[in-house]
Amino acid sequence: MLEGNLCINNLSCEFLNHEDKKTIAIENVGFTVKPGEFVSIVGPSGCGKSTMLRMIAGLQKPSSGEIKLDGKIVDKPGYERGLVFQDPTLFPWLTVYDNVASGLVARKVFKEQKELVSYYIKLVGLEGFEKAYPHHLSGGMAQRVAIARALVNDPKVLLLDEPLGALDAFTRMYMQDEILRIWGKRKNTLLLVTHDVEEAVYLSDRIIVMSPRPGRIRKIVEVNIKRPRDRNNKEFLSLKNDILTLLNFVK
């Protein structure tokens, strides 16, 4: 049986704002991500996309509902779920090698698995930069380190929270291809949060379209476009337009 089957069941999340008033961030959300599938979540700001990723990562508890990975309840952080943020959040005092190795060191398995560090540095295209520090790296390179650091623990699910949002347009498109290349090699289950509808269509097998807060699933869209995808293809542009219409950006 393939690993990395993620099931979200009737998930809701409430919190109190600064006036002690209840805010519903997510309400009754449910979906499944199959092993090895690439799924994106799009929706307006404040609809709970990042909150949902944090709950799947075990960093935040839902108010109700449940999250299961391969049939087991998710209720705390675990190395089987890797998380990459928009900000690479690298340790500035550590080299590229040591940043990637940090997860193995924390788990006390570095000696037994240290060969994985060089493997993932090579996989993300940073061979030769092992001794560089974060301040020596471009934004795209720093994000590659963050991805390698998440992958070195061999997670069943890789969670990406707008990892390319801070990059310029050209670097962003290049990194989209790099994410596809890395995913193609590893075939981890992958869940991406993005505001970029074109990015979601370019990368995903399916796209979950969220409503404004309280975040609910408006529609789950199948992306039946053969890879590699042409951004100017009529089918690509039509699907992009359909999703923008769902998000009320196109009338």
pLDDT of 248: 83
**Structure confidence by residue, pLDDT tens digits, 54-101:** 999 999 999 999 999 999 999 999 999 999 999 999 999 999 999 999
**CATH class of residue range 1-80+155-251:** alpha beta
- Count CB neighbours of 25 within 10 A: 22
Nearest to 205 by CA among 226, 223, 178: 223
Average pLDDT over the chain reads 94
Nearest to 190 by CA among 3, 36, 76: 36
Predicted TM-score of the model (pTM): 0.94
Residue 1 has pLDDT above 70, yes or no: no
Q: Where are the alpha helices (DSSP H) in 107-168?
A: 110-113, 115-123, 139-151
Rounded Cα gap, residues 40 and 201, in angstroms: 9
pLDDT of 169: 92
User: Are the C-beta atoms of 196 and 10 separated by less than 8 Å?
Assistant: no
Residue 38 has pLDDT above 60, yes or no: yes
Output the six-digit token pair for 63.
């108010």
**Structure confidence by residue, pLDDT tens digits, 150-201:** 999 999 999 999 999 889 999 999 999 999 999 999 899 999 999 999 999 9
Residue 28 has pLDDT above 80, yes or no: yes
pLDDT of 250: 59
How distant, in Å, are the alpha carbons of 99, 117, 194 from that of 91? 6, 16, 24
**Structure confidence by residue, pLDDT tens digits, 196-206:** 999 999 999 99
pLDDT of 166: 87
Whether the ω angle into residue 228 lies within 30 degrees of 0, i.e. cis, is yes
pLDDT of 45: 87
Rounded Cα gap, residues 166 and 183, in angstroms: 21
Rounded Cα gap, residues 138 and 243, in angstroms: 32
Rg (CA), the chain: 18
E strand spans, 91-225: 157-161, 189-193, 206-210, 217-222
The pairing of strands 157-161 and 189-193 is parallel
DSSP-assigned letter for residue 93: T
User: Are the C-beta atoms of 236 and 201 separated by less than 8 Å?
Assistant: yes
Rounded Cα gap, residues 176 and 172, in angstroms: 6
Estimate to the nearest angstrom the gap between the alpha carbon of 133 and the chain centroid: 24
Residue 227 has pLDDT above 90, yes or no: yes
| Every domain range in the chain assigned CATH 3.40.50.300 | 1-80+155-251
Q: Helix, strand or coil for residue 171?
A: helix
